[in-house]
Amino acid sequence: MNETMNNDIIRHASAMAGKASFIADDFAQALFPKTDVHFNDRMRSNARQYLRATIGQIEQRICQIATQELGVTHETLVKIGQGGGGQSFRLLENSGLLKTVEIVQHLFIKAQQGELAARLLQKISQQDLEATLTRHLDHADPAVAEAAMGLLVAQSKATGAVGEISASLADLPAEIAFALAWPVTAALARLSDLPGSQLQQATERLLASHDESASVARKSDRLAQLLEQADMTEDRIPHPMRDGLSLFIARLARQSGLTSDQIIGFTAEPNMVRFVVAMRAANFPTQEALSVFAALDGDDHILTAATYGEADQDRSAALVSSWAAPSAYQNAERILADDSLSDRAK
Partner 1 sequence: MTAAGKLAEPVRGQVNADGILLSADPRLMRLHLRSGGAEGGPLAVPELAELCRLSRRLGMNLSRPAQASDDECRIDMWVETRFASPEKGERLSLEIIDWKERPHEEPRQMDPARARDFDRLEGRGVIRTDAALRIIAQQMPGDADQASDAIGQSLLDIYDVIPPSGHARLLEAVAERQPIRNQRVQEKFGSQHLYVLQGQPLIDKVGIFAGYRFAATPDIPETSDNDNKPVATKLISDSLFGFQLGPALRQPLGKIIANAETISSKLEGPLRGDYASYAKDIASAGRHLLELVNDLSDLEAIERPEFTVAADDIDLVDLAHRAAGLLAVKASDHQIRIDLPKEGEKLPARGEFRRSLQIIVNLIGNAIRYSPDGSVIKLRVSTDQEFARISVTDQGDGIAVEDQDRIFEKFERLGRSGDGGSGLGLFISRRLAGAMGGSLTVTSSAGKGSTFTLALPERE
List of residues contacting partner 1 (CB under 8 A): 141, 143, 174-175, 177-178, 204-205, 207-213, 218, 221-222, 225-226, 229, 257-258, 281, 314, 317-318, 320-321, 324-325
| Concatenated DSSP letters of 110-125 | HHHHHHHHHHHHTTS-
Phi, then psi, of 66 in degrees rounded to 5: -65, -45
Number of C-beta neighbours around residue 273 at 10 A: 14
Task: Give the nearest distance from C-beta 328 to partner 1 in angstroms.
Answer: 13
Minimum Å gap between C-beta 204 and partner 1 is 5
- Judged by CB, which is closer to partner 1: 91, or 281? 281
Compute φ and ψ for 344, nearest 5 degrees.
-65, -35
Report in angstroms how near the CB of residue 74 gets to partner 1 at its nearest.
22
User: Which of 170, 176, 260 lies closest to 214, judged by CA?
Assistant: 170
Residue placing its CB nearer to partner 1 in the complex, 85 or 142: 142
Nearest distance in Å: CB 6, partner 1: 48
Cβ distance to partner 1 smaller for residue 53 or 250: 250
160 vs 257 by CB, closer to partner 1: 257
Neighbour count for residue 309 (Cβ, 10 Å): 12
Q: In this structure, what is the dihedral angle of CA atoms 249, 255, 259, 260, given to the nearest 10 degrees? A: 0
DSSP string, 263-307: HHHHTTSGGGHHHHHHHHHTT--HHHHHHHHHHH-SS-----HHH
Between CA 176 and CA 54 the distance in angstroms is 11
Report helix angle 216-230 to 142-158, nearest 10: 160
Closest separation in Å from C-beta 222 to partner 1 = 6
- With respect to partner 1, which residue has the nearer C-beta, 31 or 208? 208
Q: How far is the CB of 181 from partner 1 (least distance, A)?
A: 10
Which CB sits closer to partner 1, 39 or 178? 178
CA angle 335, 338, 339 (to 5 degrees): 160
- Cβ of residue 59: shortest distance to partner 1, in angstroms? 18
**Whose Cβ is closer to partner 1: residue 205's or residue 236's?**
205
- Minimum CB separation of residue 142 from partner 1 in Å reads 8
Calculate the alpha carbon distances from 89 to 28, 186, 341 in Å.
Answer: 25, 12, 40
Which residues are within 8 A (CB) of 313 and not within 5 positions of it... i.e. 6 or more apart?
280, 281, 283
- CB-nearer residue toward partner 1: 13 or 137: 137
